[in-house]
Amino acid sequence: MRGNITMGRPFWLALAMATALGAVGVLQSWNVALAILNLQLISAVMALGVNIQWGYAGLFNFGIMGFTALGGLAAVLVAMPPVAEAWAAGGRGMAMAAITMTGTAAAVWALQRLIRIKALRGPAVVLVFVVGLALTRSFYGPSVAAIEAVDSSVTGFLGGLGLPITLSWLAGGALAAAVAWVIGRITLGLQSDYLAIATLGISAVLVAVLKNEDWLARGVKNVTTLPRPVPYEQDLQGQGWFMDLAARVGMDPFLLSGIVVKALYALLLGSVLLALFWLSHRALHSPWGRMMRAIRDNRDAAEAMGKDVTRRHLQVFILGSTVVGIAGAMLVTLNGQFTPAAYNPFRYTFLVWVMVIVGGSGNNGGAILGGFLIWFLWVQAEVGGPWLMAMVTSGLQEDSPLRQHLLNVAPHMRQLLMGVLLLVVLRLSPQGLLPEQRGKHGLAQQQITTEHS
């Protein structure tokens, strides 16, 4: 029976989604539809990353925005041209600061192990730490000032490597993975709610660092001139063959160039999504995936079978965060700018979670569908809310204060919509629109929702 549901449902839901996008294309414009599609693709990648952590292993990671921001940082560090003056002004100082910082960390680590007498260990470590910190700050402070002084309205940061921006998608994943390793080592001993809150907090800290360390990526001054992996609209409009094409399909070249650029983006993002989907699908339906689900469904039993639960959790935490980091780099590539203030942990973290829960946790296709569906609703509700409100309040007078107020706040109806949607799905179909596919012999027949605490 379950087989029937899972065979037919993905197809129909995907078709419905495509129809909805097509409707937007016909009714609003194809530019809008493609813009939505691109962000849907990125949302789907993010949902995939969260699904790897939550769906496979039951890890409660609310630190998504931190990893997304790290992916964005990678895009800046890879793709922006290096700022030679800034390197000349403060490069050496920063290098020295990095060396002293690593040296201090290494010294503290070594002292912890080398000093046998307990009474001496504490004071020695503190002394080394304080000296190291003072030394680091003495290099760091002046070089930060020097770097930020270099043409601060345009650069004022070290710049990047000047490589093609698509490379940053890998770099974003790698950076997120490295940070996830550190965070995972700290937090993964914690259980569900604690882990959720700790990761939420750590992502707030990460975003705070990105907002304030101007020498790294200009902080809240934003990096707005990131190179693009696809041609610019103006360049297309200058080409003879393009104008011919526009004339042949009978379309305004301005419109067509926008559509072509967005479609190219969609191809790039879509291929990444497909690759990641294939990889995670293979991973889930492998002995490794079955082990993960076993750990999720009955941690004690898995541990008794000799699985190293903490290590596996760390591994899956890193993998999921890598995927989220890739999505972050893709997002910045698509936007063409890096704006750290936009990564507010509260604004989007829970939205990605709604995607996974509504789509179907533990099912990669479900997570992707959830990403598409929820992003579509989130964007369209902002347009649809005022329209609906105008209908509802049409009985009131044009200038009545109530009507004015309701029309003003109508875009915020989407919060309400997301909440109601999440609650309804959780109640009526707790496994999501596309439930997790379990093996024929059923790894664990009990459902997550009815499990005893």
Partner 1 sequence: MATKTETNGPPREWHRPWGIAVGVALLLIVLPLVGREGAGVNLLNALVRFANFVVIPGMTYGSQLALGALGVTLIYAVMRFSDFAHGDTMAFGAMGVILATRVLQGMGISAGPLPTALLALPFGILGAVTLALVFDRTVYRFYRRQRAAPVTFVIASIGAMFVTNGLVRLIIGPSDQRFADGARFIIRVQAFKEMTGLSEGLALRTTQAITLVVAVVVVLALFLFLNRTSLGKAMRAYADNEDLALLSGINPERVALWTWILAATLATIAGTLYGLDKSFKPFTYFQLLLPIFASAIVGGIGKPLGAIAGGFVVAFSEIALTYPYRKVLDYLGFETDSLVQLLSADYKFAVCFIILVVVLIWRPRGIFQGRVI
Residues that bind partner 1 (CB under 8 A): 58, 60, 186-187, 189-194, 196-198, 200-202, 204-205, 208-209, 211-212, 346, 350, 353-354, 357, 405-406, 408-409, 412-420, 422-423, 426-427, 430, 448-453
Give 441's DSSP letter: T
Query: DSSP per residue over 127-148, as a string?
Result: HHHHHHHHHHHHHHHHHHHHHH
Cα dihedral across residues 335, 272, 69, 419: positive or negative: positive
User: Of 192 and 224, which CB lies nearer to partner 1 in the complex structure?
Assistant: 192
Burial (0-12, 13-18, 19+ Cβ within 10 Å), 78: buried
Nearest distance, CB of residue 408 and partner 1, angstroms: 7
Radius of gyration of the chain (CA): 25
Burial (0-12, 13-18, 19+ Cβ within 10 Å), 4: exposed
Nearest distance, CB of residue 308 and partner 1, angstroms: 20
User: Of 322 and 361, which CB lies nearer to partner 1 in the complex structure?
Assistant: 361
Q: How far apart are CA 183 and CA 170, in angstroms?
A: 20
User: Of 324 and 357, which CB lies nearer to partner 1 in the complex structure?
Assistant: 357
With CA atoms as reference, report the closest residue to 152 among 219, 70, 210, 94. 219
Give strand pairing partners of 82: 159
Residues in the chain: 453
User: Of 83 and 354, which CB lies nearer to partner 1 in the complex structure?
Assistant: 354
User: Of 257 and 349, which CB lies nearer to partner 1 in the complex structure?
Assistant: 349
Nearest distance, CB of residue 297 and partner 1, angstroms: 11
Nearest distance, CB of residue 311 and partner 1, angstroms: 19
CB neighbours (10 Å) of residue 439? 10
Give strand pairing partners of 338: 223
CA 150 to chain centre: 32
CB 197 within 8 A of CB 134: no
User: Of 112 and 408, which CB lies nearer to partner 1 in the complex structure?
Assistant: 408
Nearest distance, CB of residue 407 and partner 1, angstroms: 11
User: Of 245 and 383, which CB lies nearer to partner 1 in the complex structure?
Assistant: 383
Mapped onto helix, strand or coil, the DSSP state of residue 239 is: coil
Nearest distance, CB of residue 192 and partner 1, angstroms: 6
Q: How far apart are CA 15 and CA 267, in angstroms?
A: 19
Q: Which residues in 134-167 are b (16+ Cβ under 10 Å) and which e?
A: ebbeebbeebbebbbebeeeebbbbbbeeeebbb
Nearest distance, CB of residue 391 and partner 1, angstroms: 16
User: Of 441 and 452, which CB lies nearer to partner 1 in the complex structure?
Assistant: 452
Mapped onto helix, strand or coil, the DSSP state of residue 159 is: strand
User: Of 125 and 190, which CB lies nearer to partner 1 in the complex structure?
Assistant: 190
Mapped onto helix, strand or coil, the DSSP state of residue 82 is: strand
Give 363's DSSP letter: -
Q: How far apart are CA 199 and CA 64, in angstroms?
A: 8
Nearest distance, CB of residue 49 and partner 1, angstroms: 18
Nearest distance, CB of residue 205 and partner 1, angstroms: 4
Nearest distance, CB of residue 446 and partner 1, angstroms: 10
User: Of 229 and 411, which CB lies nearer to partner 1 in the complex structure?
Assistant: 411
Nearest distance, CB of residue 353 and partner 1, angstroms: 6
Nearest distance, CB of residue 67 and partner 1, angstroms: 16
User: Of 262 and 403, which CB lies nearer to partner 1 in the complex structure?
Assistant: 403
Q: How far apart are CA 329 and CA 314, in angstroms?
A: 22
User: Of 155 and 349, which CB lies nearer to partner 1 in the complex structure?
Assistant: 349
Q: Which helix (H) or strand (E) holds 45?
A: helix 30-51
Give strand pairing partners of 223: 338
